[in-house]
Every structure is written in C-alpha cells, then in structure tokens.
Chains A and B, each alone.
Chain A
Amino acid sequence: MSNQIEEQSVRVADICDQMSGLEGPLLPILHEVQEEFGHIPDGAIQTISKKLNLSRAEVHGVASFYHDFREEKAGKHVIKICRAEACQAMGADQLGEQVRRHLKVDWSQTTTDRKVTLEPVFCLGLCACAPAAMVDGKVVGRVSPDRMNRLLEEVRS
C-alpha cells in the first residue's frame, strides 16, 4: 500500500514538473491528475501544494470549488444529462427522472455495483438538438426515452 502511495506521489510530482512552465499551472495539473487517477487523491493535494509552494488548504479549496474534480473515483461509466433550460423545454426533467429510477440513484451518485455514475450537467452546447446527454465522453442529442433505455442497457451490460 505504501508503495502505491509513493508511486502516486512520484507521478503527481512529475505532472507538476511538466506543467511548471505554465502561467497559472494549478488547473492544468488537477486535470492531468484526475485523468491519471480518476479522481484527486488526498495525497496528490499534499504533493501539489509542496511543489507549487501553496498551502494544502489552498489546493483543496481550488479542487473542491470546481464541479469537475472528484474526491472519489466515478463508476465504470459516467452518464451526464443536461438539466439546463433548452433541454428542459424538450423533456430533460422526465429523462433525468427515467434514469434515476432505472439506476436507483440520485444526481451525482454511483450505482451500488459501481458500474454507472449519474451526473447533472448544465449545458453541453447541444441546445438545438435537445435533450442532450454525454455518455463516457460521447455526446448524444435528441435523446428519446427509447434511446436512453438502449444507452442504459449498453452501460449496464
């Protein structure tokens, strides 16, 4: 276990070094750390704060401010459903309800088998093909209840 933590902190330190030439490197570093580990591990915050000469509170404050950064790993699949107005006008609320019922989770939760995380998103810029969703980074437009059922079957299988 301690080996793993050590490896992790070496990797995080590497990322910090790679990004150190950027003006305002903290967000790019956090994105890269999340890309690598699937979330922002506690230990990473300590390493980053040392590398950037910031307090742990400052780094934690930034990581927790932004919706994108996770404290815990997401499920194997991530479904994001747009909850903003243009999608509401085309039935996004009902779509969200359908998915929450099907997965038995609320917004920002992961199914008990850790397979699927459901997240709200406020606008994917697909407002002329509403309602919109993003499944594992892939955008889907005009998501009908049937289409959503097929997408749910795919991620649960």
Chain B
Amino acid sequence: MSIKVYIPLDSGSVALGADDVAAAIAKKAETNGADVKIVRNGSFGMYWLEPMVEVETPDGRLAYGPVAVEDVDDLFVSDFLSGGDHKLSLGKTQDISFLKNQSRLTFQRCGIIDPLSLEDYRAHDGLAGLEKALKMSDADIVKAVTDSGLRGRGGAGFPTGIKWNTVRQAPGDQKYIVCNADEGDSGTFADRMVMEGDPFVLIEGMIIAGLATGATKGYVYTRSEYPVAIDVMSEAIEVARAAGLLGDNVLGSGKAFDMEVRMGAGAYVCGEETSLLNSMEGKRGVVRAKPPLPALEGFMGRPTVVNNVISLCSVPVILEKGSDYYRDFGMGRSRGTIPIQIAGNVKHGGLYEIGFGLTLGEIVEQIGGGTATGRPIKAVQVGGPLGAYFPKELFDTPFDYEEFTKQNGLIGHAGVVVFDDTVDMMKQARFAMEFCAIESCGKCTPCRIGSIRGTEVVDKLERGEDPELQIELLTDLCQTMKFGSLCALGGFTPYPVMSALNHFPDDFKPRALDIAAE
C-alpha cells in the first residue's frame, strides 16, 4: 500500500514553495522506488510552518516543516516516510499546540481531508447537517440557525437567522443564495482557506440556506486575486453535481439547488453586498441605497440571501450538532466560534478558530508570539483597512462584537494585523484615506471627495502647515464621512484614521518641526 504524503495546495503554502516541494518529493520517491501517494490538502493555517509536509503513519499523521526543496533529500535520508526523526520534525500534527488549543468547528476538516474528495468529506462528518436539514421544515432550519446565535461573519454581525427568515417569508418565484467571498480586507484569508481546503462545507451550507429560504440557485462571488480558490471551488461544484448533491434532486430529496462561481474584477467595494449584487448583474459595482433590502429585492430584483463564506460554512455544524452546541461557545451576544486571522508582522501568523472572548493581547502576544522582527508591538489593526488601530493599552479588550464597538473599533472579518514600533501612524492614517479614495465607488460625496481631502489634510499636517487647524479639519471630515456615507467604505474609513490620531498623537506632530528642532 502506498504511503500518503500531504502537501497543501493552499495559496499561502504555494506562495512559500509547496508546489516545488511536492514535485521534489514525487521525483525523489520515484528515484528511490518508494510507493508514495501525494495528497494536496488545505492548510491548517500555521503559516510559519508552511510548506508543512505530513506523512500518514500507523501512529497518525506526522508533520515536518517548514520544508524547502533543499530539505527533501535529507528528509528521505532520515526516512521521513516511516516517520523518521529530522530537524524539521514537528511531531503529530494534532498535537501541535497552536492547533490543539483551538475549537475548530467551521475549519474542522480544513487541512485534514483531500479538498476534492467527497468520500473524505463524508468520512469526516460532512453532509450530516444537510441530511438533518432535509428532514426539517424551512421554518425549523431557520429557527436552528437563529437559536445558534450565528451573526454575519463578513463584519456587520447581523443575525443570520433573521436575514434568512426575511427571505423565507418574501414572496418570489425565484430566490437566490449569494455567498460573499469577496474577501478584500487586508489581514484576512479565512474565506480563501476554507474554499481551498474544504469547499464542500460551503456547498453544504449554501444548500441548507436554499432549503431554509426556498432559494434554488446559488452564486459564490469571489475575487480574481484568488485563482486557486476559484479552481478548487469550481471543481468541487462539478464533483457535487456528478454525485447528485447539486441539481434538480438534492440527495434524492426532490428538492433543487444548483450553484456557480462568479469572479469579481479587482474592486474592493464589491465586498459591500449591494455593490456586489450590481457587479453580478453586470453593472458598475456601485453601492445601492437601502431600502429595499437585498433580502426582498436583491439579485435581479428578487429575494436574496447575501452571506459571508464563514457564516455559510458555520451552518452545517449547527444543524449537525444543534444550536445549543454552537451557542455554548463564545461570550455575551457574540456566540459560537470565530476564525481569527493573525497576520502582518507576527511570529506565528495564521488562522486560529476559537470561541469569542480571548483578549487582543492573548491573541497577538501569546498565540501570535509577538512580532516577527522581534521588536515591540506598537499597534494592531483589527478588522481590515476599515478597522481601528489598537495600542497596547487596549490589549485587554475581549474579542467580541460589542466590546470592540465600545472601544471605537470593530472586529470585521476577524483579521488582526500586527505592526512593530517602526510603524508611522500618520502614514497609516494617510493610507486609510488613500485606499478609500482609490476604491470608492463614487456614488456618495463624503466618501468620494472626503477621502481625497483627507489625504491632502494629512499631507499638510506632515508639512507642518497650521497643524492644529488640520487636526480639527481631519476630525470634522471623519465625522462627515462616518455619518454621511452610504456604505461602510466611506463610513468606516474614519476608524483607522481617528484611532491612529487618538491613540498615537505623537506620530501626528509636524515633521518639519522635528527637522527644525534637530
């Protein structure tokens, strides 16, 4: 029997050389006459160990990493195919503490299975949630999701069950499930990881959403920057169709559901649900005013559920294990688990799924292990380019929707980006405005014009032109953008700007004065 060797196909691992390592291992195995079957799995999300190679042994899966092509000969010398000891040995995968201490519900299979094997998926509890849902009424499915306390993981945190119920009750001969996989926030990669590593869970979640609301057609709208996710997702849909999981007769139930992948075209604003719908309809990705809600008049003017990837991927486990099981994780009104993505200048960057409630300090210092450069942490941006910068003084903030709101921040899609003490916060504030200017859809004035004025004001501040006036102007401008913008792009850009200004005032002193003082 051939020995199974797992090497991730995950973009992050590939970016660090996984394809070359896989080729080198295949070649060396052939030379040595070793019977090896290479499985390209998803990543477990421990990126400082990628490319991580695993070997299946009678004792379980043993991990080695990070493996470079130059290490391959040496691994064979150490007989890694039999689990031989090597300087890159990490022991059993499941015992690696970063992984062991998580509560993996949404990501329970990611890294473990062959992403495109439906047999593997079933063998690891896949489709158990759907099979239960097929025996339930639409109202009961919605109730299970509502009772679980699941809230939109894209960032807005709106209760998923309530959204589903609106669509369920909306009249319409055709309804849609649209998965928002336009994961554009810097510091986030959970959607990408799950689409590459466990695509069937998204398919299962979308079918359940269809059963609950009466929608028979689904779309996954994702980014052109995610070619691997698009390929894996599209192939998984083909496999699911061939197996009768998608189509006119889902698992022989007589119910219909089918889906396809749509690719965006490099517009950040299309992660906003109404501009996403416009984009899917073939229009400019301009934000729509609400009401009407997409739940009532969404894609093609029909009732549409727009949910984030992680929201939909959390549904199968809720149906399988029950609302209580899921709700028992978390704190306050933030129930269940959240895949925290630890990124930027951090020693142990990756994905960490856990119940809500860890403090920001625990996340970046204990789990993340501090900065990659070894310098002190100065700031942590939580929630992507529209999220606030947190100073060390706020590291006791628990990871929870409401707690972050209280600190004038947001958890967004749960991306956490660490910066060391070399970061210049005035530059970061300027970048937030610049990014908003580049990506603004142009529909509303506060965002379109405000962001340009914002960069100009920061430039004047940097040049030392009447600094007090500029700070007053910047604050006023942020107020206007926050309350006057149509969507979160213009409305939340003030978060990084104002948090940088309020928490790091020393960085906003005019540079010209510094020079004069020297």
Name A's B-contacting residues (CB within 8 A): 23-28, 30-31, 52, 61-62, 65-69, 82, 84-90, 121-130, 132, 134, 137, 139-142
Separation of A27 and B276 alpha carbons in the complex (Å) = 12
Residues of B within 8 A of A123 (CB): 184-186, 188, 225
Tell me if A125 and B16 are in contact (CB < 8 A).
Answer: no
> Does B187 have its Cβ within 8 Å of any Cβ on chain A?
yes
Separation of A82 and B268 alpha carbons in the complex (Å) = 13
Residues of A within 8 A of B385 (CB): 84-85, 122
Tell me if A129 and B283 are in contact (CB < 8 A).
Answer: no
Q: Across the two chains, which residue of chain B brings its CB closest to A141?
A: B15
> Does B153 have its Cβ within 8 Å of any Cβ on chain A?
no
Q: Across the two chains, which residue of chain A brings its CB closest to B281?
A: A24
Tell me if A125 and B225 are in contact (CB < 8 A).
Answer: yes
Tell me if A141 and B186 are in contact (CB < 8 A).
Answer: no
Tell me if B285 and A137 are in contact (CB < 8 A).
Answer: no
Separation of A66 and B263 alpha carbons in the complex (Å) = 12
In the complex, per-residue mask of B33-48: 1 if CB is within 8 Å of any chain A CB, else 0: 0000000000001011
Tell me if B300 and A88 are in contact (CB < 8 A).
Answer: no
A91 to chain B, nearest CB (A): 9
Separation of A43 and B350 alpha carbons in the complex (Å) = 46
Name B's A-contacting residues (CB within 8 A): 11-12, 14-16, 45, 47-48, 50, 183-189, 191-192, 224-227, 262-268, 279-286, 299-300, 341-346, 349-351, 372, 381, 385, 415, 417-420, 423, 428, 431, 435, 438-439, 441
Partner of A127, one of B188, B225, B420: B188
Partner of A24, one of B14, B224, B300, B342: B300
Tell me if A129 and B50 are in contact (CB < 8 A).
Answer: yes
Q: Across the two chains, which residue of chain B brings its CB closest to A85?
A: B186
Additional 6 contacts, C-beta under 8 A, given A27-B279, A89-B419, A129-B15: A31-B265, A66-B264, A66-B265, A89-B423, A125-B189, A128-B342
Separation of A113 and B460 alpha carbons in the complex (Å) = 38
Q: Across the two chains, which residue of chain A brings its CB closest to B185?
A: A123
Tell me if A67 and B15 are in contact (CB < 8 A).
Answer: no
Tell me if A129 and B187 are in contact (CB < 8 A).
Answer: no
Tell me if A62 and B343 are in contact (CB < 8 A).
Answer: no
Separation of A61 and B48 alpha carbons in the complex (Å) = 43
28 sampled A-B residue pairs with Cβ under 8 A: A23-B281, A24-B262, A27-B262, A27-B282, A30-B265, A65-B267, A65-B285, A65-B441, A66-B264, A85-B186, A86-B343, A89-B423, A90-B345, A122-B184, A122-B186, A122-B438, A123-B186, A125-B11, A125-B183, A125-B188, A125-B225, A127-B188, A127-B189, A127-B341, A127-B417, A132-B15, A134-B225, A142-B15
Q: Across the two chains, which residue of chain A brings its CB closest to B284?
A: A65
Partner of A90, one of B11, B224, B280, B372: B372
Residues of A within 8 A of B263 (CB): 27-28, 31
Residues of A within 8 A of B351 (CB): 128
Residues of A within 8 A of B417 (CB): 85-86, 89, 127
Which of B11, B300, B381 has its CB near the most chain A CB atoms (within 10 A)? B11
Are A68 and B224 CB-contacts (below 8 A) given A89-B419, A129-B15?
yes
Q: Across the two chains, which residue of chain B brings its CB closest to A34?
A: B265
Are A126 and B423 CB-contacts (below 8 A) given A67-B265, A85-B381?
no
Q: Across the two chains, which residue of chain B brings its CB closest to A80?
A: B225
Separation of A88 and B418 alpha carbons in the complex (Å) = 10
Residues of A within 8 A of B431 (CB): 85, 88
Residues of B within 8 A of A126 (CB): 11-12, 15, 189
Residues of B within 8 A of A82 (CB): 186
Q: Across the two chains, which residue of chain B brings its CB closest to A133?
A: B15
Residues of B within 8 A of A24 (CB): 262, 280-282, 299-300
Separation of A84 and B266 alpha carbons in the complex (Å) = 14
Are A139 and B14 CB-contacts (below 8 A) given A85-B186, A129-B349?
yes
Residues of B within 8 A of A140 (CB): 15
Are A137 and B227 CB-contacts (below 8 A) given A27-B263, A85-B431, A129-B50?
yes
Separation of A129 and B184 alpha carbons in the complex (Å) = 16
Residues of B within 8 A of A127 (CB): 186-189, 341, 343-344, 349, 415, 417
Which of B286, B344, B418 has its CB near the most chain A CB atoms (within 10 A)? B344
